[in-house]
Amino acid sequence: MIRVGEALIAKMHEHGAKDYPSECCGALLGSDEGTNRTVLGLVPLVNQRNDSPQNRFSITPEDVLLAEKEARAKGWDLIGWYHSHPDSPARPSEFDREHAWPWYSYIIFQVEKGEAREMRSWRLDDDRAKYEEESIEFISSVPR
Amino acid sequence: MGVKVMIPTPLRQYAGKRESVDLEAKTVAEALSSLTSQFGELKRHLYSDDGRLRSFVNVYVNDEDIRYLQKEKTALQQGDTISIVPSIAGGTE
């Protein structure tokens, strides 16, 4: 299960709406308590797939290191990634699965005609064969 | 050559929860081969079915991307640090 506060959800939704019809992407910083995780902060990033941003996103290794550094500075972990699916459901595509890393949480949300809708979270299986859905607990404020 | 391989967080669960692994290798290919023979589960996450490093797996030797060196044939020196750094990609169908 992954906990996400309303303010951070609003921030992701704003990012998705601003970048629509392109996919937006960013890092999830927070705490990992084994089976449960809590998102405590976000690092919005620039989608580097300039050739096809409406259906692809890419985050460079430099941005991954930047997000890790930001997490470390706050005493948190880099626990996953978020991205939007413009006019497409909030479930991982085959392309998502092929490019996924294990362990990370992948939050995906649909942006329909510029308006953010359904949000779901996924984690890749150990054998890379499929994603498992991770339930999201929507909370009003993030515990500090 | 004694070198250190830094393991990224998502792969540590397949490497005995270690942040780094010390091993002996003359090239990057040897280092990764030694790493994956020690920790077999790492292989499917680093390599695709055709045996190539996955496109989203980036390997650095002392902060230099091996794509700009001699790729996996890059020679190692005693004390080198090899970092495996993820890039992240995805999208709709």
Q: Where are the domains of chain B?
A: 2-86
Fold (topology level) of B2-86: Ubiquitin-like (UB roll) (3.10.20)
Q: What is this model's ipTM?
A: 0.92
Instruction: Provide, as residue numbers in chain A, all residues whose Cβ is less than 8 Å from the Cβ of B57.
Output: none
Instruction: Provide, as residue numbers in chain B, all residues whose Cβ is less than 8 Å from the Cβ of A49.
Output: 89, 91
pLDDT in tens, B12-54: 999 999 999 999 999 999 999 999 999 999 999 999 999 999 9
pLDDT in tens, A111-135: 999 999 999 999 999 999 999 999 9
For chain A, the domains span 2-139
Closest CA to B85 of A67, A39, A125, A122: A67
Check CB contact under 8 Å for B10 and A83. no
User: What global pTM score does this model have?
Assistant: 0.94
CA distances (Å), origin A11, targets A44, A69, B48: 9, 21, 35
Residue A41 predicted with pLDDT over 90: yes
| The pLDDT of residue A144 | 59
* CATH architecture for segment(s) A2-139: 3-Layer(aba) Sandwich (3.40)
